Amino acid sequence: FLLSLKLENKTRGKLKKQICQVVLDHFEKQYTTELGDTWTSVRDVLTYPSCWQYAVLLNKFSQSTELENVLCAKGYHPAFQGPLPYIPASLKCYIKRTPGRFPAQKHQAGKLKEYYLLNAASLLPVLALEVKDGEDVLDLCAAPGGKSVAILQCASPGNFHCNEYDDLRSRWFKQTIESFIPNPLINLITVSKLDGRQIGDLKPELYDKVLVDAPCSNDRSWLFSSDTQQATLRLIRRKELSSLQLQLLRSAIKALRPGGSLVYSTCTLSKAENSDVINLILNSCRNVVPVDISEMAKATAQEFTFLSGMQQHEHLVLPEKGRAWGPMYIAKLKKM
């Protein structure tokens, strides 16, 4: 009996996420300066996983009306109900105000999953990208694959190129695609493991739309780093991320056709990795202009909290209780 009690306590300990103090101290210093009083309420959500919420993105390739009925019975409602500039009828995402997570589905070879669990704010870059049938699309940093899956819920691209440089993340991405996309369609997707910084030179002016969901300091996961040494190293290297993000954006611009547009997104609150990167691009690339995405923010303001004072081409989703989505930074640019 004592042994089983010990095992039970051990399991419970594993389930309870531990905050990494080194990271919290670093964030406290930076985000108090950048966000002021807003940081306090954001911190309360980020450091308290039991108040986190998870959205349920339905898979149109494995549709089930029964699932929609179950979600509605459990208090879920459609996430995007407002008059958005772009909201395909085939994109169905359900959320609820109370915390909690719908049961996840295991990967089974040859069987499609019915839904994908995600942070609802991660669908905003996809909505901002406005992919239409037949367009050539590049997802530059595609793993773990949620945004690629969402793009395919919205439209049927002509050529859909999904790239992931990291070997482990690339394998993760392939499994995600196999879980959600039927075989005939998978064959139409080009999956590569190229260095995203070189794609612009390798495939110049090939795409109508490019998504740059850049590697960033992932605030949510970093706060719960179990290895303090690794966390400290991450924080030291954090300054290098904006340089990588800039290089990825420059590559994405080269890969875009004139008239094409790109969306840049991160899951960090960090100004150095968000607005600063986009401002540097706008100031150094004469062939790129900002695109107003304020209508999207207005239409989704009921479900998401946006940081005030941002420019019209960018938005930052702030997590708050009852709307614990984000952090998610989104910016849209067009190539002239």
Q: Which residues are catalytic?
A: 267
User: Which residues are paired to 316 by β-bridges?
Assistant: 329
Is 139 part of any known ligand binding site? Answer: no
22 CB-near residues (< 8 Å, 6+ apart): 225, 228, 231, 232, 235
- Element (H or E) spanning 331, and its range? strand 328-335
Is 144 part of any known ligand binding site? Answer: yes
Q: Is 264 helix (H, G, I), strand (E, B) or coil?
A: strand
Is 132 part of any known ligand binding site? Answer: no
One-letter amino acid of 319? P
DSSP state of 103: P
Taking the C-alpha atoms of residue 280 and residue 276, their distance in angstroms, rounded to an integer, is 6
Structure tokens at 251: 């590559």
Is 326 part of any known ligand binding site? Answer: no
Is 213 part of any known ligand binding site? Answer: yes
Taking the C-alpha atoms of residue 172 and residue 168, their distance in angstroms, rounded to an integer, is 6
Is 28 part of any known ligand binding site? Answer: no
Is 255 part of any known ligand binding site? Answer: no
Is 200 part of any known ligand binding site? Answer: no
- Torsion angle of the four alpha carbons 96, 98, 101, 103, in this order, in degrees rounded to the nearest 10: -70
User: Which residues are paired to 329 by β-bridges?
Assistant: 266, 316
Structure tokens at 248: 């990825």
For residue 144, cis peptide bond before it (omega within 30 degrees of 0): yes
Sheet with 115-118: strands ordered across? 77-78, 93-95, 55-58, 115-118
Phi, psi of 314 (to 5 degrees): -140, 150
Q: Is 204 helix (H, G, I), strand (E, B) or coil?
A: coil
Is 143 part of any known ligand binding site? Answer: yes
> Please, what is the angle between helix 21-35 and helix 38-46, to 10°?
150
Taking the C-alpha atoms of residue 119 and residue 102, their distance in angstroms, rounded to an integer, is 12
Is 145 part of any known ligand binding site? Answer: yes
Binding-site annotation, residues: 141-147, 164, 195, 213
Binding-site annotation, residues for S-adenosyl-L-methionine: 141-147, 164, 195, 213
